[in-house]
Amino acid sequence: MVSPSFSTKLVFFACFVLFTFSHKLVTGESDKVELNLYYESLCPGCQSFIVDELVKVFDSDLDTITDVKLVPFGYAKVSNNLTVICQHGEEECKLNALEACVINTLPNPKSQYKFIRCVENNTDNWESSCLKGYGNEKAINDCYNSDLSKKV
């Protein structure tokens, strides 16, 4: 992966990736900063951010004070025949669906992130590189290969 630079970070924002930081008062156990990351699976800037920068949240104590939600979200259009066309092609639509299934299946945000980071770092061979070792392989595959992947 290319090391992040200022221009890479600008590309990240230009790829229709939105950060939403909202400070919420949470009644109960703790107050956390909510972080929603909307990203495109095959956007180079998004990939760089997920692989090289967001890891710092999960490798530090920051994950104890943040509620990170990853949202695979592409700049897509729906054609007349109701086919979804993603900005970076059909493979991006597939990876967005896969990652939505991972989020739907794996309950732990840290596990979700590790799987998605693996996919973003290995988009050409994610099945052999990422599918095993995170648990719920069958449930992820079942979601990905069903209509549920279009709903989540």
Query: CB of 76 within 8 A of CB of 84?
Result: yes
Domain ranges, ordered by start, for the chain: 6-151
Mean pLDDT of 43-55: 94
Q: What pLDDT does 61 receive?
A: 82
Q: What pLDDT does 19 receive?
A: 42
pLDDT in tens, 13-22: 444 334 444 3
Query: CB of 80 within 8 A of CB of 25?
Result: no
Strand, helix or coil for residue 145: coil
80 versus 112: the higher-pLDDT residue is: 112
Q: What pLDDT does 133 receive?
A: 75
pLDDT in tens, 110-136: 999 999 999 999 999 888 888 887 778
pTM of the model: 0.75
User: How many other CB atoms sit within 10 Å of the CB of residue 34?
Assistant: 14
Query: CB of 70 within 8 A of CB of 99?
Result: yes
Name the most confidently modeled range: 54-58, 77-81, 144-148. 54-58
CA distance 9 to 63: 22
Return the CATH architecture of domain 6-151.
3-Layer(aba) Sandwich (3.40)
CA distance 92 to 78: 14
Q: What pLDDT does 81 receive?
A: 80
C-alpha pair distances (Å), 62 with each of 31, 33, 88, 124: 13, 10, 32, 31
31 versus 152: the higher-pLDDT residue is: 31
Q: Is the pLDDT of residue 62 over 50?
A: yes
